[in-house]
Amino acid sequence: MASKDSRETKDKKKKAEKPAPESIYINRELSWLAFNHRVLLEAADPAVPLLERLKFLMIYQSNLEEFYRVRIGILTHRAILDPDNRDSLSGLLPDAQIAEALRVTREQQVLAESVWKAIREELRQNKIDVLDFKKISKVDELMSKKLFGDLKNQLFPKIIDMDQALPFLWGEETYIIAFLGRTGEQKLAIIPLHRVPAYLSFEIDGSQKIVLTDQLVRHFLPLLLKKETVVQSAVVKVTRNADVFLSAVEDRGDEDRRQKMAAMLTKRKREMPVRVQFYGKLTDAARAALIKKLRVPERSVFTSSVPFDLSFRSCIGPHENFRYEERRPAREIGLKKGEYFRYIEKHDLLMSFPFQSMLPFVDLLYEAADDPEVLSIKVTLYRMSASSKVAAALAYAADKGKDVLCLLELRARFDEQNNIDYSEILEDAGCRVIYGLPNYKVHSKLCLITRQHGGNLSHITQVGTGNYNEVTGEQYTDLSLITADEGAAADAEAAFAAMAEGELPPEAHTLWIAPLSFKSRVLDLLDREIAKGENGRVAFKVNSMNNLDVMEKLIQCSQAGVQVELYIRGICCLRPGVPGKTENIVVKSVVGRWLEHSRIYRFGEGDDERLFLGSGDLLNRNLERRVEAFVEVVTPDTRAQVNEILNALRNDREKSRVMQPDGSYLREPGGEGTSSQEALYCYFSAIRVKPETGGPSAPPAEETPVPAASPRPTLGDRLRRLFRREETKEE
């Protein structure tokens, strides 16, 4: 007979199978899946240009892949190691969260398949045919057979008996698995596709034919396996758990952190599967046999009619109305190299990406490198582009004799190898490189330039919401504030000094520096608005929110009559509009051509307004386990510019959806022409500041270099290109 304790445990688990319907909170994972559904809805929107819809479908798939690698990976470990650990917001156990995520994914897959079918048909109507080998013309098959012949020698099948174990299938790679021979004598053929391109293309009679390589190989398997009888086959992709951190390899006893990170990346590739996808129908018996060999539960296996790789989008040429109207970042802001210091000494400078280019910030770094009065540049680096102009400027500054300190966070997930490479490049260029803190990710976007005038020191501090990455700087909406405020500089200097010693940044005064000086400031300023009652105002623009303390304080704001506007692109675990609790809270999510990424915190309005921007969201990790940096926006012009963003978001009904009390999102009617992103592009791309008269604060010593944007095959080539001297150009 079961004991009383075991019965109670079972009862508790049963109660936690579903979140309570009256709960004001939403499970984080389900909220994220709701965000990805909004991405999928953009792919389904006929008002979005055709190839942009295809891009949104690609983003949806990529997002989902990362979700399973990371979030389901974490829950999978938790279900094994701590199965009774309930989600603090929904009460769901780890296994129940996984089950709900799988259920929602299956529901969304129906829409994804419908979207793909519609996009494929519309492409075909425009003479772009993604070949379907189940109904292919003789001419197309002959051309495809020739293409197969060209890549056949790059395919290396491995054939095993049915009673043998499958060879290891690497995560993120695609395979063809074929059943060979008659029942009882069957064998399996496994064909990895990592050596061949994802797609091929040819033209016939003015029509572009796109051949997806996995389907091409699957169709012509009899030509590859001439001595075998192919009974059935499928394209297979395994998603593996990416929840592996440095702690998993600490026992190596290796003092070199870069080597530990490399070991972690190797381990990640071999982690347990969290999802398996099939493209192509198999018999029930064959499917069951394959699932058994893959050692995954049936619930984690998906069969989809959407190709795993949609990157063929890039080979489709220009077609009228297929893409968004061109919107290039404005390179000109009114300042040239040699004019930044003098301007910033008297004015704060705000830049808004991607409406404005990141190159003016690169110019500022080169101006610092060439200024004989500049002593040092300190910067935190999280994600950089493959050919980083920022890295080139930092390397150039070190070559010019400046003390350049780069705090490079190696644990930027899925960018670890890129950061390992850059740590070597920057060290070889003469920069000092440190790797952050053992138990806290350094996620801040913080740069400090120190100058000496005679016996006096002065500083320029930059605080941003996004990475120093020129590529994402044209894809994400972000903000960068540059100031000569000495209070901000003192806090930044203290933060860098602490982190260089492996310590957390101390309590800050002018800046907010998480984890010690972020959450408490937010809660204090929310209390200030609560005290105002119905005159209180709060507006946050963040990417995600799940911190219980902040959400409870926002509930108190609403109950006190404070009007709360939350512009949250992704995860929002608080339901708005619930009577007696959140009826004064509005939650809007904007999904458009650019990824909303900036973080803005506004408390009060008018003369009583406090306005901040910085690198952190309202997730537990940002508040408690990361180093984040925020700066107050204080000058009239920069405040007006940031408020313009919030006003545009408030008025957006074209690309925003409003969260309902039940957690669903609805688009407001009549929103054509109200896109906040279009409005802000027009606003920021036209902004020009007026240089200070009297000439540059310190003339540049010589023309400054800009790196080539082409791929860098070797470390030596990459370093040489960092110092290539050519005119700055917008790419």
- Hey, which residues are catalytic here? 443
Q: Which among 610, 700, 687, 600 has a CA at the least distance from the CA of 650?
A: 600
Q: Do the beta carbons of residue 530 and residue 502 sit within 8 Å?
A: no
Exposure letters 323-359 (e unless 16+ CB within 10 A, then b): beeebebbeebebebbbbbbbbeebbbbbbbbbbbbb
Q: Is the dihedral of CA 246, 249, 255, 256 positive or negative?
A: negative
DSSP state of 300: G
Number of helical H runs and strand E runs in the chain: 21, 28
Q: CA-to-CA distance for 550 and 545, rounded, in angstroms? A: 9
Record the tokens describing residue 547, joined without a space.
């911190």
Q: Which among 488, 489, 467 has a CA at the least distance from the CA of 478?
A: 467
| Lookup result for tokens 């572009």 | 208
Please state the φ and ψ torsions of residue 595, each to the nearest 5 degrees. -80, 120
Q: Do the beta carbons of residue 27 and residue 92 sit within 8 Å?
A: yes
Q: CA-to-CA distance for 389 and 707, rounded, in angstroms? A: 6
Residue-wise DSSP of 595-644: EE--EEEEES-GGG-EEEEES--BSHHHHHSEE-EEEE--SHHHHHHHHH
Q: CA-to-CA distance for 357 and 470, rounded, in angstroms? A: 8
Q: Do the beta carbons of residue 707 and residue 387 sit within 8 Å?
A: yes
Q: Do the beta carbons of residue 454 and residue 443 sit within 8 Å?
A: no
Q: Do the beta carbons of residue 375 and residue 450 sit within 8 Å?
A: yes
Sequence-distant (6+) residues with CB within 8 A of 360 are 331, 333, 335, 340, 351
Q: Which among 306, 308, 305, 300 has a CA at the least distance from the CA of 101?
A: 300
Record the tokens describing residue 717, joined without a space.
């080539």
For the chain, the straight-line distance linking the first and the last C-alpha, in angstroms and rounded, comes to: 73
| Three-class HEC string of 10-41 | HHHHHHCCCCCCCCCECCHHHHHHHHHHHHHH
Q: Is the dihedral of CA 395, 396, 399, 404 positive or negative?
A: negative
* Extended strands (E) in 420-508: 432-434, 441-442, 446-453, 456-464, 476-483
Q: Which amino acid is at 517?
A: S
Q: Which among 29, 9, 10 has a CA at the least distance from the CA of 19?
A: 29
Q: What's the Cα-to-Cα distance from 498 to each of 346, 385, 434, 509, 558, rounded to whole Å? A: 29, 27, 12, 15, 39
Sequence-distant (6+) residues with CB within 8 A of 544 are 32, 568, 569, 570, 571, 572, 617, 618, 619
Largest Cα–Cα separation, the chain: 90
Q: Do the beta carbons of residue 492 and residue 446 sit within 8 Å?
A: yes
Q: Do the beta carbons of residue 241 and residue 77 sit within 8 Å?
A: yes
Record the tokens describing residue 46, joined without a space.
């006929």
Sequence-distant (6+) residues with CB within 8 A of 452 are 373, 375, 458
DSSP state of 587: E
